[in-house]
Structure 1
Amino acid sequence: MSADLAMVLVLLVAAIAMFAAGRPRMDVVALVMIVALPLTGILSVPETLAGFADPNVVLIAALFVVGEGLSRTGVTYRLGDLLSRVAGTSTTRLIVLLMLAVALLGAIMSSTGVVAIFIPVAMSIAARTGISPRQLMMPLSFAGLVSGMLTLIATTPNLVIDAELRRAGHGGFGFFAITPFGLVFLVLGIGYMLFARRFLGGDAAGPGHLARTISGLIADYGVDARTHRYRVGAGSPMIGERLAEAALVDQRRPGVLMIERTRLLRGTQRFTADEAVVAKGDVLFADTAFSAADRERLRLERLKMTDEFFDAYSRQVGLAEVLIAPDSAAAGKTVRTARLAATYGVHVAGIRHRGHTIDDGLADARLAAGDTLLVTGSWSAIHRLGRSRRDYILLDLPAEAAEVAPAANQAPFAIAIVLLMVVLMVTGVVPNVIAALIACLLLGIFRCIDMSSAYRSIHWPTLLLIVGMLPFALALERTGGVDLVVDGLLSVLGGAGPSVLLGGVFVLTAVIGLFVSNTATAVLMAPIAISIAAHLGVSPYPFAMMVALAASSAFMTPVSSPVNTLVVEPGRYRFGDFVKIGTPFTVIVLIVSVLLVPLLLPL
């Protein structure tokens, strides 16, 4: 092994270790690698930064904008409403239609975005029909993953593999080259989930899911058990100060859900705490139990709690459940440092982490992707938080659909524009990236999307990840790393024939995908698969297709894909649920792929 290859492997192992640990963020890891690779002398600076000019990177960014256009015009939510009407109360029919709808949209949108949109739709249907969310969430994630096998643009790894084929001097995949395989796995996936759902339990909607009322959410998060009422007395040092700045216990602001203020002729007003300057006679609803000494110092009179206190105030003070999205800026921060109050004007009233409610120390609780938060604030503040879907996904809010579809009247234009984009891509009249950019321009012209929402919709960490990992493929090829892996696979499996090698490529891709993102996995595995085909003197397309199929087969753990992470908390799943349900289906996909790929893409 040469010194250059050793340096590249050290950087690669370090990147994989950081990806697996989740620290730092994947885009930061990518930037570190962009800085480190030129310092090795193996790649030049232009070679390392070439990914920023890659047409597929621009194409992926444009597709994020197209997906946002469909969301802003309400196309996705209308599809969810239609699904709810057609499915009725049949769980079987609902699972079939839900998986078909997610797969259909996921074929032209980000699968993570589609699943994020359909989680509240499925939760709402579960509440109305009494179906347990455990029966719906995992089919949702499976359909999101399978959607990556339906079209060339369905998922980033497909585009990465297509680009590697072209770089190696071969023709790329066609728009629907992967579709026959995806359709087979979609049918198998639906049938499998109809059978496997019985092992998920939850035949009926459990407490806190059926009829998600304000009082139900409060009870589910234990807010009622830890909330106390205090009246601000004369001489309190809090009077005249904003609550967030008031001198409180240990110089910390307690978790104040709201302030109640009664004034002559104006009746009783209730509002969120940070908006108010504390006045004498105000009643504070706080999740902090003050000691007798603190009550004396702050001149607070303890009052008896009223039953169902929040229901009476719902017109003035809002309450909602939100999910921490993958790659959210809040992940890894505490509630205090996430600054939801300062940024959105909402207060965290409860947290659920991996199925358990956090009862103490909410302000210092560390947030993670997949956690759900119960937030309180004015309805306008909650709506504002709901529009920040990159970090927080709104789960329970009656007015949600109207708020996240501000361009609902433009839905026919959005549908027509997306169909035009697909036609341009399929016919090859213009390059794929130009077709996507045309769609973006038309979405703007017909007011389906504005510039600010277009920029916000682009998932910059994903783009940086691609740009940061692409140079590794060139570095491994230049230093002999690709040949080393290829020779190893051929020495172990070469005598067993191409079909066994196809299975080996699938298994290696799937195993790497357990630790790093499927995009990074595709970047690493695509040149290896193509090189194996070259050594055997056979077509590269079956081997490239195996990488694409395996990259989308992240069914085995809740951390294998952001799609899985999203459904863990709404479905109340454990790690073992994914292992139990996902592993057998991954084996099914492996066996069918080994049999089907050589038939449709001859060696």
Structure 2
Amino acid sequence: MTNELIWVLVLLLIAILLFTTGKVRMDVVALLVIIAFVLSGTLTLAEATAGFSDPNVLLIAALFVIGEGLVRTGIAYQMGEWLMRAAGKSETRMLILLMITVAALGAFMSSTGVVAIFIPVVLSVAARMKTSPARLMMPLSFAALISGMMSLVATPPNMVINSELVRDGARGFGFFAVTPIGIMVLIMGIGYMLVARFWLNGNNSDPERERWKRRTFRDLIHDYKLSGRARRLALRPGSPLIGQRLDDLRLRDRYGANVVGIERWRKFRRVMISAGGNTELQQRDVLLVDISANEAGLRQFCSEQLLEPMILRGEYFSEQARDVGMAEVSLIPDSALLGKSLRQVGFRSRYGLNVVGIRRGGEAMTGKLIDEELTLGDILLVIGDWKLIRQLQMQKYNFIVLNLPAEVDDVAPAVSQAPHALFCLALMVAMMLTDQIPNPIAALIACVLMGKFRCIDMESAYRAIHWPSLILIVGMMPFALALQKTGGVELVVRLLMDISGGAGAHMMLLSLFVLCAVIGLFISNTATAVLMAPIAVAAAHEMSVSPYPFAMIVAIAASSAFMTPVSSPVNTLVLAPGGYKFGDFLRLGVPFTLLVMAASVLLVPVLFPF
């Protein structure tokens, strides 16, 4: 063992200890690794920083952008809605459906891409189920890794190992040769996660966990005493409201009714429009009304204006949160609105938003708010179009927007571009399946097209990329080269042959799996497969047995990168959204890897006899 190899192993141990303790950020540790390799002379500057030009890093960044495009166009939300409808309020059913869906999709496209797409879906679903993202992010990651066992093209290691068989003169694996093992591991994974999820709480200081502390529509409805005041009223034919401007109707003065939104037919579907003072009502409109009148007053209002009450799902428009927004607004000391009433200001006409509540001295005010003079310290609850609420944030000379509820994360600003986003996604998947276009280029093409179709803008694209995850991946890549350059990998391989060569075929399968798992802790599963594939085939020839079970065990082991957040980009992607620490992957990943190893060593020889 050379001094250089000892230095690399010591540095690796230090990095693992820092990852485990969590005292230093993982991306900072990764940068320190690059610095240490260059200053020690173990690697050249070009070698240590090669990860910045690695195509896989570019692919991961592009997939972050594509995932954001699916969020902005509402597709991720709709996928979450489907999962919610299918799972109901059962977290158990949600976990099962999530893992099956991810494993099925990952059989035909990049598992990294699947995770990048599903992260916003899981965050949205977890928020609406009021459960921690940590309890679903790890199952998402495990299912994506298991997807590599679902088909021959599911992951690069499978194709690397298949190519080695062909080069050796053997017939390659069939497209679904690995699928029976993958289904078995998926069933095991679901059962394992149904129990292990209770050990997952995530990091309370993580930004995604802070989202749970944000107030929701329901919190605001309770704080401002809005419960029971919402109505959904349709204009009947001949209603005197048809053709009238809202300000001219004076509905608040006459009936205590404040129209905060309007559902209107456009191109054979209902759309939600903002209710401004100059908005003219049309036939077939459905009004979303905040009304303070009692039941007798409501009946009088509906009778005189020919309105028909309709079903309103959710409390005070909470089910309409994608179209109708809420925000708390405070006046600054120099605001021109101080000392004036909402009527004098013409708040609705000027800003297109309706004030439905005022808190003064910590207490919600009741009664006729439109004529109440505004004072310093008042907090206004406004309701209306999300876009107009965003514009109100720019009115810094009058307002401070104090709080946007958690539902703002589910708003899709480019929902009309959803078909284009689906086209971009389908095109990317098709290009990846053909294997004629490199995956990073396919992802970049999809990103450019999403920008062209206005599914995402440049600011949102750059903000969508999780840079710490990329730095972590880039910083850990030099270890693979350093271990190969100093002879560390070759040393371990020679030891493997000495220890297991004469102990029988099953023991060799076990040894190959263990070696793949250990190497996979520090280098990518693709690199592991490249290294181990010829060793597996050579070991089979030396033992005079079929190479297929040996090659297959390497393929399974290469996809079993469950043990650390740096074992696979899939794990790294869920690290921040799940609020995990390095030790969380060790606690859950090591036992499950042992289960997969035991099952594979028993099942592989049955499917692929020696």
On whether the aligned pair clears a TM of 0.5, the verdict is yes
Query: C-alpha separation between the residues in 2 aligned to 1:553 and 1:468?
Result: 19
How do 1:20-419 and structure 2 match up within 5 A? 20-89=20-89, 93-103=93-103, 107=111, 109=113, 111=115, 114-124=118-128, 126=129, 133=131, 138-139=135-136, 141-151=138-148, 181-193=181-193, 213-214=218-219, 263-266=338-341, 306=363, 315=381, 378=401, 382=404, 397-402=406-411, 405-419=412-426
Which residue of the partner structure matches residue 574 of structure 2?
A: 563
- Partner of 1:398, secondary structure, is helix
Which residue of the partner structure matches residue 485 of structure 2?
A: 478
1:120-147, Cα deviation, whole Å (9 max, x unpaired): 32331x36xxxxx37x963553133212
- Partner of 2:381, secondary structure, is coil
- Partner of 2:413, secondary structure, is coil
The 8 Å contact of residues 502 and 594 in structure 1, kept in 2 or not, is answered as yes
Code of the residue aligned with 1:147 in structure 2: it is A
Give the 3 Å change call, closer, same or farther, for CA 167–101 of structure 1 in structure 2: closer
The 8 Å contact of residues 4 and 42 in structure 1, kept in 2 or not, is answered as yes
How do 1:460-499 and structure 2 match up within 5 A? 460-499=467-506
Q: How far off its partner does 1:551 sit?
A: 0.6
Code of the residue aligned with 1:213 in structure 2: it is R
Q: How far off its partner does 1:25 sit?
A: 3.0
Give the 3 Å change call, closer, same or farther, for CA 408–553 of structure 1 in structure 2: farther
Q: How far off its partner does 1:476 sit?
A: 1.8
Give the 3 Å change call, closer, same or farther, for CA 532–12 of structure 1 in structure 2: farther
Highest Rg: 1 or 2? 2
Task: Structure 2 unaligned segments of length 5 or more: list them.
Answer: 202-211, 224-328, 344-357, 367-377, 385-392, 395-399, 542-546, 566-570
Query: C-alpha separation between the residues in 2 aligned to 1:446 and 1:568?
Result: 33
Give the 3 Å change call, closer, same or farther, for CA 583–467 of structure 1 in structure 2: closer
2:526 is the counterpart of 1:529: no
The 8 Å contact of residues 149 and 552 in structure 1, kept in 2 or not, is answered as no
The 8 Å contact of residues 147 and 182 in structure 1, kept in 2 or not, is answered as no
> Which deviates more, 14-23 or 75-84?
14-23
1:213-236, Cα deviation, whole Å (9 max, x unpaired): 327999xxxxxxxxxxxxxxxxxx
Give the 3 Å change call, closer, same or farther, for CA 535–41 of structure 1 in structure 2: farther
Query: C-alpha separation between the residues in 1 aligned to 2:74 and 2:174?
Result: 30
Query: C-alpha separation between the residues in 2 aligned to 1:210 and 1:456?
Result: 23
1:149-192, Cα deviation, whole Å (9 max, x unpaired): 325999xx956897899999979999988766544433443355
Q: How far off its partner does 1:66 sit?
A: 2.4
Query: C-alpha separation between the residues in 2 aligned to 1:378 and 1:259?
Result: 9
Q: How far off its partner does 1:564 sit?
A: 6.7
**TM-score of the superposition, structure 1-length normalised?**
0.56
2:552 is the counterpart of 1:542: yes
Q: How far off its partner does 1:489 sit?
A: 3.5
Which residue of the partner structure matches residue 327 of structure 1?
A: none
1:470-493, Cα deviation, whole Å (9 max, x unpaired): 332232223221122223334444
Identity of aligned residues (%): 40
- Partner of 1:315, secondary structure, is strand
2:448 is the counterpart of 1:441: yes
Q: How far off its partner does 1:446 sit?
A: 1.9
Give the 3 Å change call, closer, same or farther, for CA 91–65 of structure 1 in structure 2: closer
Give the 3 Å change call, closer, same or farther, for CA 577–522 of structure 1 in structure 2: closer
Query: C-alpha separation between the residues in 2 aligned to 1:177 and 1:37?
Result: 41
Query: C-alpha separation between the residues in 1 aligned to 2:3 and 2:575?
Result: 39
The 8 Å contact of residues 161 and 551 in structure 2, kept in 1 or not, is answered as no
Query: C-alpha separation between the residues in 2 aligned to 1:177 and 1:464?
Result: 36
Query: C-alpha separation between the residues in 1 aligned to 2:112 and 2:553?
Result: 24
Give the 3 Å change call, closer, same or farther, for CA 469–217 of structure 1 in structure 2: farther
Q: How far off its partner does 1:28 sit?
A: 3.0
Query: C-alpha separation between the residues in 2 aligned to 1:138 and 1:452?
Result: 31
> Which deviates more, 1-10 or 456-465?
456-465
Code of the residue aligned with 1:315 in structure 2: it is L
Query: C-alpha separation between the residues in 2 aligned to 1:444 and 1:173?
Result: 39
Q: How far off its partner does 1:450 sit?
A: 2.4
Code of the residue aligned with 1:378 in structure 2: it is V
Which residue of the partner structure matches residue 389 of structure 2?
A: none
The 8 Å contact of residues 77 and 401 in structure 1, kept in 2 or not, is answered as yes
Code of the residue aligned with 1:214 in structure 2: it is D
Query: C-alpha separation between the residues in 2 aligned to 1:188 and 1:415?
Result: 32
The 8 Å contact of residues 70 and 117 in structure 2, kept in 1 or not, is answered as no
Query: C-alpha separation between the residues in 2 aligned to 1:26 and 1:163?
Result: 30
Query: C-alpha separation between the residues in 1 aligned to 2:186 and 2:157?
Result: 22
How do 1:564-579 and structure 2 match up within 5 A? 566-567=577-578, 579=587
Q: How far off its partner does 1:78 sit?
A: 0.5
Query: C-alpha separation between the residues in 2 aligned to 1:529 and 1:150?
Result: 21
Q: How far off its partner does 1:440 sit?
A: 2.2
Code of the residue aligned with 2:439 in structure 1: it is N
How many residue pairs match? The answer is 435
The 8 Å contact of residues 114 and 144 in structure 1, kept in 2 or not, is answered as no
1:381-424, Cα deviation, whole Å (9 max, x unpaired): 64xxxxxxxxxxxxx6234311xx22221112222222222222
Which residue of the partner structure matches residue 337 of structure 1?
A: none
Q: How far off its partner does 1:598 sit?
A: 5.7
Give the 3 Å change call, closer, same or farther, for CA 114–500 of structure 1 in structure 2: farther
- Partner of 1:411, secondary structure, is helix
Query: C-alpha separation between the residues in 1 aligned to 2:162 and 2:15?
Result: 24
Q: How far off its partner does 1:595 sit?
A: 3.8
The 8 Å contact of residues 38 and 48 in structure 1, kept in 2 or not, is answered as yes
- Partner of 1:378, secondary structure, is strand
**TM-score of the superposition, structure 2-length normalised?**
0.56
Give the 3 Å change call, closer, same or farther, for CA 93–465 of structure 1 in structure 2: closer
Q: How far off its partner does 1:63 sit?
A: 2.5
CA RMSD of the aligned region, Å? 5.3
Code of the residue aligned with 2:96 in structure 1: it is V
The 8 Å contact of residues 65 and 464 in structure 2, kept in 1 or not, is answered as yes
Query: C-alpha separation between the residues in 2 aligned to 1:211 and 1:64?
Result: 26
Q: How far off its partner does 1:36 sit?
A: 3.1
Query: C-alpha separation between the residues in 2 aligned to 1:7 and 1:90?
Result: 51
Give the 3 Å change call, closer, same or farther, for CA 11–523 of structure 1 in structure 2: farther
> Which deviates more, 73-82 or 468-477?
468-477
Q: How far off its partner does 1:592 sit?
A: 2.8
Give the 3 Å change call, closer, same or farther, for CA 567–166 of structure 1 in structure 2: same
Give the 3 Å change call, closer, same or farther, for CA 168–10 of structure 1 in structure 2: farther
1:224-259, Cα deviation, whole Å (9 max, x unpaired): xxxxxxxxxxxxxxxxxxxxxxxxxxxxxxxxx978
